[in-house]
């Protein structure tokens, strides 16, 4: 087998990857001399770096020429011999190619994707990790629950205080009290999630959408009999909005961990009535409608993090509705991680005051990060709204 080569994907495609003869002058960028990737045209052709411009659709003739291209996979050095149509190249290289590099979720060893199944069945040695906070030793595949960690910290503090006879020490009491409060909060969040699951008639998180079947690869590799199919059961879309939060505050607050079975960092909810009563929040109003009285947004213009309480579980993100509150043509970076490894990134453009549905179609991630673009020269935060998220569970 050819030597494994780790290739960093860029938005630039060399003409060496074209199969057949084409007129390079038409389909290449005059600056970098590589194949145009997802072209756009702009007028009046001003600086693309944060300057104002009007984007237009690219020439249909150019798009037709590009659609006829067949290109070699960037993982050809690893063994992939397929020729992929221009329009299917990104999907193939990110999620379909059996020769792309991946990382074992159990031991963190890097290997080709078509070797993963055999490795996990025969060669994998689960990696032992040590928690820096409570000194617990655990296997990566089992995860380490926050509640268990806090519980062990609390017990350790009590043990130290007892052995040194400093039960009444103010410092020890404050430290212990903080751990106890965190422990109680985490238990309350877990209890909240459990109540939601057990009272389906009041708060039904069961997916109501049709069965979601991931599309099969457009160009299956017939020469590879052991194709890895990580999910053998049909998936369902679980649509999450923010109207069913318990003990909600009319002025809004942080979305509690455990809501809809997820943990939420730096994501807040806001009701329509509160937005109408505050003139500085008028940018939120177009996100509401007759069936939606509550939306979510990122606090202080910072990034949002969404993940499952159990670190060993994964989920998928099919799509979400989003818009910008203060800035037009606002860029949002969507990142998917698994086991602290960045798997995929998408940059989307949000419209101010206009909700749009964005399809992401990622599977088997354990962390979703939404990072807004930093905008200089303004005192308005980089705030964006999430109205609905469609997870794949």
Q: And the tokens for 383?
A: 């705030």
Instruction: Report long-range pairs for 206-214 (Cβ below 8 Å, ≥24 apart).
Output: 206/238, 207/236, 207/237, 207/238, 207/239, 207/393, 208/239, 209/236, 209/237, 209/238, 209/239, 209/390, 210/237, 211/235, 211/236, 212/236, 212/237, 212/318, 212/392, 214/363
Fold designation for 15-99: Herpes Virus-1 (3.30.40)
How high is the pLDDT of residue 119?
Answer: 86
The CATH label, of 2.60.120.1350, 1.10.260.40, 1.10.357.10, 3.40.50.980, for the domain at 235-392 is 2.60.120.1350
Beta bridge partners, 341, equal 338
Contacts for 30 with CB less than 8 Å, ≥ 6 apart: none
Q: And the tokens for 373?
A: 């673009």
How high is the pLDDT of residue 171?
Answer: 60
Task: With CA atoms as reference, report the closest residue to 274 among 253, 252, 257.
Answer: 252
How high is the pLDDT of residue 321?
Answer: 94
Domain boundaries, the chain: 15-99, 131-198, 235-392
- Kindly give the confidence (pLDDT) of every residue in the chain, 393 residues in length, as a single tens digit, with 9 standing for 90 and above: 444 443 434 446 777 777 777 766 666 776 667 777 666 555 445 555 555 555 566 677 777 778 888 888 989 999 999 999 988 888 898 888 999 988 777 777 788 999 988 888 888 877 666 776 677 777 666 666 666 777 777 777 767 666 655 545 566 666 666 666 666 656 665 565 555 555 543 433 333 323 323 333 333 333 333 323 333 344 456 889 888 887 778 888 899 888 888 999 999 999 999 999 988 888 999 999 877 889 999 988 899 999 998 878 899 998 899 999 999 888 999 999 988 888 889 999 999 999 999 988 888 899 999 999 888 777 788 999 999 899 987
Instruction: Report long-range pairs for 50-57 (Cβ below 8 Å, ≥24 apart).
Output: 50/375, 50/376
How high is the pLDDT of residue 2?
Answer: 43
Contacts for 392 with CB less than 8 Å, ≥ 6 apart: 212, 235, 236, 237, 238, 315, 316, 317, 318, 363
User: Residue 207 and residue 205: Cα distance in Å, rounded?
Assistant: 6
Q: And the tokens for 112?
A: 């080709």
CA distances, 336 to each of 213, 215, 290, 322 (Å): 20, 20, 32, 17
Would you say the pTM of this structure is higher than 0.85? no
373 in Cβ contact with 333 (< 8 Å): yes
Q: Which conformational region is residue 148 in: left (phi greater than 0), alpha (psi within -120 to 50 degrees), or beta?
A: alpha
Neighbours of 341 (CB within 10 A): 15
């Amino acid at each position: 087998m050819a030597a494994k080569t780790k290739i960093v994907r860029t938005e630039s495609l060399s003409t060496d990857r074209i199969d057949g003869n084409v007129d390079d002058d038409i389909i290449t960028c005059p600056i970098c001399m590589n194949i145009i990737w997802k072209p756009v045209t702009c007028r009046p052709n001003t600086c693309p770096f944060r300057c104002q411009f009007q984007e237009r659709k690219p020439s249909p003739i150019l798009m037709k020429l590009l659609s006829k291209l067949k290109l070699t996979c960037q993982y050809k050095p690893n063994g992939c011999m397929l020729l992929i149509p221009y329009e299917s190249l990104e999907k193939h290289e990110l999620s379909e190619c059996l020769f792309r590099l991946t990382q074992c979720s159990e031991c963190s060893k890097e290997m080709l994707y078509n070797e993963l199944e055999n490795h996990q069945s025969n060669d994998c040695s689960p990696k032992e990790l040590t928690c820096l906070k409570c000194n617990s030793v655990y296997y990566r595949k089992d995860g380490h629950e926050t509640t268990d960690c806090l519980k062990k910290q609390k017990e350790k503090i009590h043990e130290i205080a007892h052995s040194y006879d400093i039960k009444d020490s103010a410092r020890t009491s404050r430290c212990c009290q903080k751990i106890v409060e965190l422990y109680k909060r985490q238990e309350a969040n877990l209890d909240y999630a459990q109540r939601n699951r057990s009272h389906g008639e009041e708060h039904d998180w069961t997916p109501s959408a049709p069965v979601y079947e991931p599309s099969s690869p457009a160009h299956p590799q017939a020469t590879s009999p052991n194709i890895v199919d990580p999910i053998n059961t049909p998936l369902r879309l679980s649509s999450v909005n923010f109207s069913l939060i318990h003990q909600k505050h009319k002025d809004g607050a942080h979305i509690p961990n455990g809501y809809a079975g997820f943990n939420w960092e730096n994501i807040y909810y806001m009701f329509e009535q509160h937005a109408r009563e505050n003139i500085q929040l008028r940018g939120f109003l177009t996100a509401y409608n007759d069936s939606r009285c509550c939306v979510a947004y990122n606090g202080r213009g910072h990034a949002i993090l969404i993940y499952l309480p159990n670190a060993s579980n994964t989920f998928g993100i099919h799509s979400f509705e989003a818009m910008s509150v203060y800035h037009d043509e606002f860029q949002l970076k969507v990142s998917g991680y698994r086991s602290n490894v960045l798997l995929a990134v998408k940059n989307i453009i949000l419209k101010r005051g206009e909700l749009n549905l964005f399809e992401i179609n990622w599977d088997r991630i354990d962390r979703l990060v939404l990072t807004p673009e930093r905008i200089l020269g303004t005192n308005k935060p980089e705030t964006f709204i999430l109205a609905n998220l469609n997870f794949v569970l």
